[in-house]
């Protein structure tokens, strides 16, 4: 079968013909129907992500498809079951073998493209806002990178949780996408000073920052007393330095957040969150935004769309 693999982190990923895998104990083989791309895939390809699979490995953190075979000791899933898988890697291929406990059965009404775009983006936003920041109804939420994969879902979920949402993104086209997701106020960071704009709106109680760099500093300085600032990512490429005196004066909390990390030390947080999110989807309360659906042989193009910030919401690859 074909797989898009990282052979050397100093070189570009490449297409390779590899044996079709068979499941071992506790594993299932999945025929992959769709794979959602993430900014983390770009980092992983260069060996700069917090998780570094042994080389060579197949890119693609999250996927959806149909169980084709099961290994020993797998009772909860049967061949023919439609599943979403948070695999960490392995999604940009025609077939993959994954731990059964990384698979979630899909609602009957969820297309594979939606399922592949769902777990990381919605899971990150929901666990960050609900579990970590404990966003309350009536509070003001500031989302940076608000038109990207995990930013746009934070706008949508923040609004569902009853917050007033300020969306910050570059350009009116991206801000229009954030408005459709429920944003109450829009800040064009290419034309406006983020700190001044947010303070003019009364400041932020919770900041959901996926950008880092100077934008993080501006958002921090626009916080209200006792605000909570979520460090979700560094799409700008710059890890910010935090002025501790600002935290002291305003009694502000800055908290790191890595969704995938919960799989190792508190997996029930992820499973409980996903159960809620799938219910919301089935009730029509969530609507995944996918700007591009591309075939498997255009996976490199899909990653470039994310690298160049030409996508909104998610990019999905369909083998």
Same domain? For 179 and 218 the reply is yes
pLDDT greater at residue 109 or residue 168: 168
Whether residue 10 is predicted with pLDDT greater than 90 in this model: the reply is yes
Clarify whether residues 187 and 224 are in a common domain. yes
Whether residue 277 is contained in a domain is answered as no
Q: Phi first, then psi: what are they for 174, rounded to 5°? A: -70, -35
Question: Are 137 and 226 found together in one domain?
Answer: yes
Whole-angstrom distance, CA of residue 99 vs CA of residue 24: 9
What would the mean pLDDT of 74-92 be, rounded to a whole number? 95
* pLDDT at residue 52, rounded to an integer: 93
Confidence of residue 264 (pLDDT cuts 50, 70, 90): confident
Confirm whether 95 is domain-assigned.
Answer: yes
Q: Among 221, 243, 260, give the residue marking a domain's end.
A: 260
The tens digit of pLDDT for each residue in 219-257 reads 999 999 999 999 999 999 899 999 899 899 999 999 999
Q: How many domains does the chain have?
A: 2
CB atoms within 10 A of CB 269: 18
142-152 burial string, b = 16+ CB within 10 Å, else e? bbbbbbbbbbb
Q: Is the pLDDT of residue 115 over 90?
A: yes
What SS3 state is found at 89? coil
91 shares its domain with 137:
no
Mean pLDDT of 127-155: 97
Q: Based on the domain organization, do 69 and 157 belong to the same domain?
A: no
SS3 78: coil
Q: What is the pLDDT of residue 135?
A: 98
How far is residue 280 CA from its own chain's centroid? Answer: 17
Token representation of residue 311: 């996508």
Over residues 205-220, the pLDDT tens digits come to: 999 999 999 999 999 9
Average pLDDT of the residues of the chain: 96
140 lies in the same domain as 210? yes
Residue 279 lies in a domain: no
* Any domain includes 230: yes
Q: Is the pLDDT of residue 50 over 90?
A: no
Q: Is residue 202 part of a domain?
A: yes
Residues 159 and 255 placed together within one structural domain of the fold: yes
- CA–CA distance from 309 to each of 4, 38, 152, 179, 211 (Å)? 21, 12, 13, 18, 12
Q: Give yes or no for a contact between 173 and 238, defined as CB atoms under 8 angstroms apart.
A: no
pLDDT tens digit sequence for 147-190: 999 999 999 999 999 999 999 999 999 999 999 999 999 999 99
Domain that holds residue 312: 2-118+288-318
Residue 135: inside a domain: yes
What CATH number is associated with residue 154?
Answer: 3.40.50.720
């Amino acid at each position: 079968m074909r797989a898009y693999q990282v052979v050397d982190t100093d070189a570009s990923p490449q297409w390779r013909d590899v044996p079709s895998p068979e499941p071992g104990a506790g594993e299932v083989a999945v025929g992959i129907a769709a794979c959602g791309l993430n900014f983390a895939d770009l980092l992983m390809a260069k060996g700069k992500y917090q998780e570094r699979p042994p080389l060579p490995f197949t890119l693609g953190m999250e996927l959806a498809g149909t169980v084709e075979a099961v290994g020993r000791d797998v009772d909860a899933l049967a061949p023919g079951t439609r599943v979403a898988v948070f695999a960490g890697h392995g999604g940009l291929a025609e077939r993959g073998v994954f731990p059964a406990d990384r698979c979630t059965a899909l609602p009957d009404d969820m297309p594979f493209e939606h399922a592949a775009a769902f777990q990381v983006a919605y899971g990150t936003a929901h666990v960050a806002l609900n579990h970590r920041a404990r966003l309350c109804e009536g509070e003001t939420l500031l989302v940076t990178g608000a038109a990207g994969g995990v930013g746009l879902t934070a706008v949508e979920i923040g609004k569902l949780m009853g917050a007033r949402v300020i969306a910050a993104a570059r350009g009116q086209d991206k801000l229009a996408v954030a408005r459709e997701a429920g944003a109450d106020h829009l800040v064009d960071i290419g034309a406006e000073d983020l700190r001044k704009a947010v303070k003019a709106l009364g400041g932020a109680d919770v900041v959901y920052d996926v950008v880092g760099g100077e934008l993080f500093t501006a958002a921090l300085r626009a916080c209200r007393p006792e605000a909570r600032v979520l460090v979700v990512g560094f799409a700008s490429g710059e890890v910010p330095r935090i002025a501790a005196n600002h935290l002291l004066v305003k009694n502000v909390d800055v908290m790191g957040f890595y969704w995938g990390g919960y799989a190792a030390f508190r997996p029930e947080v992820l499973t409980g969150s996903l159960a809620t999110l799938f219910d919301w989807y089935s009730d029509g309360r969530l609507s995944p935004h996918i700007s591009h659906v591309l075939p498997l042989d255009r996976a490199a193009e899909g990653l470039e769309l994310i690298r160049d910030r030409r996508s909104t919401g998610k990019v999905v690859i369909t083998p």
